[in-house]
Amino acid sequence: MQLMWFRKDLRLNDNPALHQCCLNGPAAAIYFVTPSQWQQHDVAPIQIDLMQRALNHLSHGLGKLGIVLHVIEVETFADIPQQLSKFCKQHNITNIYANSEVEVDEINRDIAVQQLFNQNGQQSLQLYQADCLINPGEVLTQQGEMYKVFTPFKNCCLKLLRDRVNLQPYPAPTAQGKAIENPSITIALDKKESSAWPASESDTYQLLQKFIDFQVEDYHQNRDFPALSATSQLGPCLALGIISAKQCVYYLLQAFPTLLDGNATGPVIWLNEILWREFYRHIMVLNPRIGKGENYNTKAKNIIWLNSKQDFKAWCAGETGYPLVDAAMQQLNQTGWMHNRLRMVCASFLTKHLLIDWRWGEKYFKQHLVDGDFASNNGGWQWAASTGCDAQPYFRIFNPTLQSQRFDPNGKFIRIYLNNRLQQRQALNDKQIHQPFEAIVEHKFARQRALLSFSVLKATGQQEG
């Protein structure tokens, strides 16, 4: 018996570890529920709900292939090596297959498992790469270093994708025995309704196809306008591995075969976004200190944050007085998702206008996002706070009113999320709607204050220390 260990790769298709496990089958599968670990990682209740739904679809699909899915609850990753070893002994299993993950706790968990297996000399854990398009550590400068700037990283990825990366997804495995019914799975933790997002592989694939067929060609024009539903909304499924980045690019290429040569503007810009995801993952693997809460740019430790608890509370509740920021925070609090342009605006506002440490915002986002993903969230926050790798220059400070006029010109998005509040005030026209009302801080003052605080990044430029 071979054992497939599922983590954030809740899919049958394009799953190299599952594929290999079943080739050597017959196979069983295991999944660890780790409540305290997830709490430490600030996993949002809405993501737990999506995870539960995705696990049930996976378990059903595995059952049809005759594969039993064992779900075991332990508190933290630290409990896994012993539990896994015990399970393997009970079931007479020697080979365990899994797909590697990029986060530092996850990497350390796998090292601990491998160390125990080495000591026992009875089992082995084989790791595959299924999360990135290209293995972290393989996109390097001519000097053999990780790129510090996105554009050359992206160009190198495109070359590798053109020349040697096989994007063909692995097929779902063949049946391992007679079909069985795996019991339904309940994760006994706080959950928040996630039904707006697909949880099965087939529904996720349909969402991708719909986006490719009808929206991706206009992506470059529409993606920055939060009132339009113009982005793929695949983030939550990518975060849990219900679909892989490889599958996204493979099917995009089927529709736009000259994509990698830079033809087709919308699809090229969408591919760029997938490559930002890739960039942050590669940075994380090659700089594990980032996974422990450190600034990428070591000079950023000299920024003096004000960290006002009162201001933070107002930001979380969407009560800063800046309509676009407040509507965006309402979107996050109500739906568990926030448009990318607004993530940048809100993160800039928290770190620059309020001078609150980006880690506070990173945590709050993770606690509420259905697509919460450590590498992309950390990358996005450090970009906005100018502390990251190829980040926004420190002197660039979004003006939330101008952002509002530019990206929500008729106030349509603001009206959706601030409707109740606006009803209590006199009617506002499309110009007035963007203006701050009883604002927490005045823009020009905040801008000057931020420039002063962030000038510690100035001396020798934006390089990492």
The catalytic site residues sit at 273, 276, 305, 340, 358, 381
**How far is CA 218 from its chain centroid?**
23
The distance of closest approach from Cβ of residue 389 to ligand FAD in the complex, given in angstroms and rounded to an integer, is 12
Site mask, ligand FAD, residues 298-337, x = CB under 6 A?
A: ----------------------------------------
- C-beta of 97 vs 278, nearer to ligand FAD: 278
The distance of closest approach from Cβ of residue 373 to ligand FAD in the complex, given in angstroms and rounded to an integer, is 4
Please, which of residues 98-127 interact with ligand FAD by CB under 6 A?
none
User: Strand pairing partners for 277?
Assistant: none
**Sole binder of ligand FAD in the list 136, 235, 336, 388 (CB under 6 A):** 235
**Sole binder of ligand FAD in the list 344, 350, 440, 457 (CB under 6 A):** 344
Count the residues of the shown chain that bind ligand FAD, applying the rule CB under 6 A. Answer: 28
Q: Does 239 bind ligand FAD (CB under 6 A)?
A: yes
Q: Are 339 and 226 in contact (CB under 8 A)?
A: yes
| Sole window of 47-55, 253-261, 370-378, 413-421 interacting with ligand FAD (rule: CB under 6 A) | 370-378
CA dist 463 to 124, 127, 275, Å? 41, 33, 21
| Sole window of 33-41, 164-172, 299-307, 371-379 interacting with ligand FAD (rule: CB under 6 A) | 371-379
The distance of closest approach from Cβ of residue 237 to ligand FAD in the complex, given in angstroms and rounded to an integer, is 8
Peptide bond into 183 cis (omega under 30): no
- C-beta of 133 vs 234, nearer to ligand FAD: 234
The distance of closest approach from Cβ of residue 405 to ligand FAD in the complex, given in angstroms and rounded to an integer, is 20
| Sole window of 112-120, 145-153, 231-239, 426-434 interacting with ligand FAD (rule: CB under 6 A) | 231-239
Site mask, ligand FAD, residues 261-300, x = CB under 6 A?
A: ------------xx-xx--x--------------------
- C-beta of 87 vs 270, nearer to ligand FAD: 270
Only one residue has tokens 């600030």, namely 42
Please, which of residues 384-443 interact with ligand FAD by CB under 6 A?
384
Burial of 234 (0-12, 13-18, 19+ CB in 10 A): buried
The distance of closest approach from Cβ of residue 229 to ligand FAD in the complex, given in angstroms and rounded to an integer, is 9
Q: Does 232 bind ligand FAD (CB under 6 A)?
A: yes
The distance of closest approach from Cβ of residue 455 to ligand FAD in the complex, given in angstroms and rounded to an integer, is 23
| Sole window of 9-17, 87-95, 141-149, 363-371 interacting with ligand FAD (rule: CB under 6 A) | 363-371
Q: Does 244 bind ligand FAD (CB under 6 A)?
A: no
- C-beta of 54 vs 369, nearer to ligand FAD: 369
Per-residue HEC secondary structure of the chain comes to: CEEEEECCCCCCCCCHHHHHHHHCCCEEEEEEECHHHHHHCCCCHHHHHHHHHHHHHHHHHHHHCCCCEEEEECCCHHHHHHHHHHHHHHCCCCEEEEECCCCHHHHHHHHHHHHHHHHHCCCEEEEECCCCCCCCCCCECCCCCECCCHHHHHHHHHHHHHHCCCCCCCCCCCCCCCCCCCCCCCCCCCCCCCCCCCCCHHHHHHHHHHHHHHCHHHHHHHCCCCCCCCCCCCHHHHHHCCCCHHHHHHHHHHHCCCHHHCCCHHHHHHHHHHHHHHHHHHHHHHCHHHHHCCCCCHHHHHCCCCCCHHHHHHHHHCCCCCHHHHHHHHHHHHHCCCCHHHHHHHHHHHHHHCCCCHHHHHHHHHHHCCCCCHHHHHHHHHHHCCCCCCCCCCCCCCCHHHHHHHHCCCCHHHHHHHHHHHHCCCCCCCCHHHCCCCCCCCHHHHHHHHHHHHHHHCCCCCCCC
The distance of closest approach from Cβ of residue 210 to ligand FAD in the complex, given in angstroms and rounded to an integer, is 12
The distance of closest approach from Cβ of residue 107 to ligand FAD in the complex, given in angstroms and rounded to an integer, is 19
- C-beta of 231 vs 330, nearer to ligand FAD: 231
CA dist 412 to 70, 316, 344, Å? 48, 22, 19
| Sole window of 83-91, 168-176, 338-346, 401-409 interacting with ligand FAD (rule: CB under 6 A) | 338-346
Q: Which residue is nearest to ligand FAD (CB)?
A: 380
**Sole binder of ligand FAD in the list 114, 124, 222, 233 (CB under 6 A):** 233
Q: Does 372 bind ligand FAD (CB under 6 A)?
A: yes
Burial of 269 (0-12, 13-18, 19+ CB in 10 A): middle
**Sole binder of ligand FAD in the list 85, 99, 351, 376 (CB under 6 A):** 376
Under the rule (CB under 6 A), what is the footprint of ligand FAD? 223, 231-235, 238-239, 273-274, 276-277, 280, 340, 343-344, 347, 365, 369, 371-373, 376-377, 379-381, 384
